[in-house]
Amino acid sequence: MERTTQVIGQSGAFLDALELASRAAALDRPVLVIGERGTGKELVAERLHRLSPRWDQPLVIMNCAALPETLIEAELFGHEAGAFTGATKARAGRFEEAHRGTLFLDELGTLSMAAQDRLLRAVEYGEVTRIGSSRPMRVDVRIVAATNEHLPDKVARHQFRADLLDRLSFEVVTLPPMRARVDDILVLAEHFGRRMASELGRDHWPGFTKPAEAALVAYQWPGNVRELRNVVERAVYRWDLDGPIDAIQFDPFHSPHRPATMVSLVEPSAVAPAAPPVAAPPSAAAAEPMDYKARLARFECEMLQTAMAENRFNQRATAEALGLSYDQLRHALKRHGLISGAATESVA
């Protein structure tokens, strides 16, 4: 099914990136699109395809981060029947589906090294081999890839193949974030607002007040265009009054009734059992002369105190941590005056 998409913006940084993508579209070479989340990488990939000589052929989209590592190679290259458990029939991969068209690989940086090895061969030789087959197939595919990571850094960390990056980065289009497109914020807000008002069946678009516009421009937009769209559409559907929209909520999770964390909901007594009364260790003045036996006894006493504290004064847990039986621990505690003979405590 064809999708109707629009690329909207008038800022210099955005237009420069768009111009670079448009020039690269005519060349049958790989293009790497880089940008933060929500900057419109998929829209630029569609533009690269629609302006290319392959515009009337398939545009196949694959999000590399949406699949477990064990399935990525099967999705990319396909598999034969019986190639692995659950492969009841043969299936074409994304490369075969995109034959003579464009394959858009989103979140490229998440590909495993094994998948990168096979992708390199497909890019280099134009051949793919289904899992479970020994017969390579020729494919004619133009690759457009996208990522929000700096791939040269991943190469330096040995997490991405340098030769694959060389082959995919014939042209690199870096999309500016929303904070670098200040001139586009109100243009996009107007577009998203009008569209939402029409979707709600409202007969007119009231626009935003000046304070609301100032708030939109001043915000940093960590989620970029996607976040801007959500904020504007939320403001439009919530606004039931006459006149321009004046209420903007950037954080939909903000609420005076926001649930507290589980830790804060638990009574302190339930987090850790209260420490039972522990007799103070013998004072230095009353201690016997510091010969070998005295030093050994003092060391044992300090070790018992530390272990009890680390295990929240649970005797069974302390005994297990020290490699002692419960009775041995009790005897040692009594010997050093760390627990009275009649003392009781939870040992569960």
Averaged pLDDT, 248-271? 69
66: which DSSP letter? G
Contact 228, 189 (CB under 8 A): yes
Question: What residues contact residue 34 under an 8 Å CB cut-off, 6+ apart?
Answer: 41, 146, 147, 148, 150, 172, 173, 174, 175
Packed helices 182-199 and 210-218: angle between N→C axes, nearest 10 degrees: 120
Query: For the chain, what percent of residues have pLDDT higher than 70?
Result: 87
Nearest to 118, CA basis, from 174, 64, 154, 172 = 64
Q: What is the mean pLDDT of the chain?
A: 85
Greatest alpha-carbon pair distance for the chain in Å reads 95
pLDDT at position 173 over 90: yes
pLDDT value at position 340? 55
110: which DSSP letter? G
**Residue reference for tokens 């003579």:** 100
> In whole angstroms, what is the distance from residue 95 CA to residue 138 CA?
10
Q: How confident is the model at residue 226 (pLDDT cuts 50, 70, 90)?
A: very high
Distances (CA, A) of 90 to 6, 81, 83: 37, 4, 9
What are the phi and psi torsion angles at 104 (to 5°)? Answer: -100, 115
pLDDT value at position 4? 52
pLDDT value at position 139? 93
> In whole angstroms, what is the distance from residue 264 CA to residue 261 CA?
5
Instruction: Work out whether strand 137-138 and strand 127-128 pair parallel, antiparallel, or are unpaired.
Output: antiparallel
> In whole angstroms, what is the distance from residue 142 CA to residue 103 CA?
6
User: Which CATH code fits 12-176?
Assistant: 3.40.50.300
Averaged pLDDT, 248-276? 66
Would you identify the CATH topology of the domain 273-348? Arc Repressor Mutant, subunit A (1.10.10)
Q: How confident is the model at residue 230 (pLDDT cuts 50, 70, 90)?
A: very high
Q: Can you give the residue ranges of every domain in the chain?
A: 12-176, 182-238, 273-348
136: which DSSP letter? -
> In whole angstroms, what is the distance from residue 127 CA to residue 78 CA?
12
pLDDT value at position 167? 95
pLDDT value at position 288? 46
pLDDT at position 345 over 60: no
- Beta bridge partner(s), residue 91: 79
Burial of 317 (0-12, 13-18, 19+ CB in 10 A): middle
pTM comes to: 0.70
pLDDT value at position 342? 41
Question: pLDDT for 49-93, tens place per residue?
Answer: 999 999 999 999 999 988 887 788 888 998 888 877 777 788 898
Contact 241, 205 (CB under 8 A): no
Question: pLDDT for 81-137, tens place per residue?
Answer: 887 777 778 889 899 999 999 999 999 999 989 889 989 989 998 999 888 888 889
pLDDT at position 164 over 60: yes
Instruction: Work out whether strand 59-63 and strand 171-174 pair parallel, antiparallel, or are unpaired.
Output: unpaired
Question: pLDDT for 313-344, tens place per residue?
Answer: 788 888 778 888 877 888 788 888 887 544 44
pLDDT value at position 5? 63
Distances (CA, A) of 36 to 40, 112, 148, 221, 249: 9, 21, 5, 11, 22
| DSSP 3-state of 214 | helix
Q: What token pair was written down for 181?
A: 């497109």
pLDDT value at position 114? 87
What are the phi and psi torsion angles at 127 (to 5°)? Answer: -130, 140
pLDDT at position 273 over 80: no
Would you identify the CATH topology of the domain 182-238? Helicase, Ruva Protein; domain 3 (1.10.8)
Question: pLDDT for 281-312, tens place per residue?
Answer: 444 444 445 566 777 778 788 888 888 877 77
- Indicate the Cα dihedral angle 305, 310, 314, 316, nearest 10°: -90
Query: For the chain, what percent of residues have pLDDT higher than 90?
Result: 56
> In whole angstroms, what is the distance from residue 177 CA to residue 220 CA?
9
pLDDT value at position 3? 52
Beta strands in the chain (DSSP E): 31-34, 59-63, 102-106, 127-128, 137-138, 142-147, 171-174
pLDDT value at position 261? 64
pLDDT value at position 161? 95
